[in-house]
Amino acid sequence: MHVLNNAFMPTCNHVSKKMIMKAFKTSEKIFKNKVVIDFQKDKKLLILVNLFSVLLFPVFYVFFYYFSWLFGIIERQDQMAYYFFFKFLPYKYLILIFVILVVITVIHELIHGLFFYLITKEKPDFGYKVLYAYVGAPDWFIKKKYFYLIGLSPFVLITLAGVVSLFLVGSYYLSVVLIPLAAHSAACIGDIWFNSMLLNKPEETYVNDNGLNASINY
């Protein structure tokens, strides 16, 4: 992990008015501690997160499948293989699932961007690499309790939308919802992991996220 723990400048004895805000814009190094997470430089961490995401996909799939069975969306508990393999083999299912995954990816980043905007009142920076899109606010330091909204809202909102969709589509198109829903939930492990790092940090912790890397400052 590309982690930097270093002292920049002594913290002030008094609390700046800027520091009690939910977000502020500055280029000054005013924090005693800084932890940098950079997936582009830390290839081992990137591989580990992606591997964990792949391993979590069947876990989420099984969870949402049995959720569907528990609430009567599907009738038989022992047909998981049928829904996972047979139901989406026709090309129309594969194409539809692919389109849904692309749309979910776009919506995921837009939700991040929306909450960046609501907190900073400034348009965030959107971008993309070969295999992924990203959004960030490179000039802003956002207080951790507000950054939770930015980091976790896509997971919460898209999961809720997916669960509602399970009830709407019924059993015939179940796999068209189950697979993207499980894939997105598993893909959110990076967001969940990063936000979990904030749990044991002081209340006056601020996150600076440019979309490609992020720092935890306190």
Position 21 in a domain? no
Position 141 in a domain? yes
- Report pLDDT for 8: 34
Position 109 in a domain? yes
Domain count, the chain: 1
- Domain hosting residue 163, numbered range: 28-73+86-217
Q: Measured between alpha carbons, how far is 150 from 211 in angstroms, rounded to an integer?
A: 12
Position 20 in a domain? no
DSSP 20: G
Query: How large a percentage of the chain has pLDDT more than 70?
Result: 82
- Report pLDDT for 20: 47
Position 80 in a domain? no
Position 11 in a domain? no
- Report pLDDT for 60: 97
Q: How many CB atoms lie within 10 A of CB 204?
A: 14
- Report pLDDT for 83: 66
- Report pLDDT for 85: 59
Q: Measured between alpha carbons, how far is 48 from 116 in angstroms, rounded to an integer?
A: 27
- Report pLDDT for 17: 44
pLDDT tens readout for residues 134-181: 899 999 999 999 999 999 999 999 999 999 999 998 787 888 899 999
Question: How does residue 43 score in pLDDT terms, banded at 50, 70 and 90?
Answer: confident
Higher-confidence residue: 127 or 53? Answer: 53
pTM: 0.83
Higher-confidence residue: 190 or 86? Answer: 190
- Report pLDDT for 12: 36
Question: How does residue 105 score in pLDDT terms, banded at 50, 70 and 90?
Answer: very high
Among candidate residues 32, 42, 50, the one with its CA nearest the CA of residue 193: 50
- Report pLDDT for 91: 74
Question: How does residue 191 score in pLDDT terms, banded at 50, 70 and 90?
Answer: very high
Residue 106 has pLDDT above 80, yes or no: yes
Position 153 in a domain? yes
- Report pLDDT for 157: 98
Length of the chain equals 218
* Coil, helix or strand at residue 124: coil
Measured CA to CA in angstroms, residue 12 lies from 9, 130, 142 at distances of 9, 43, 19
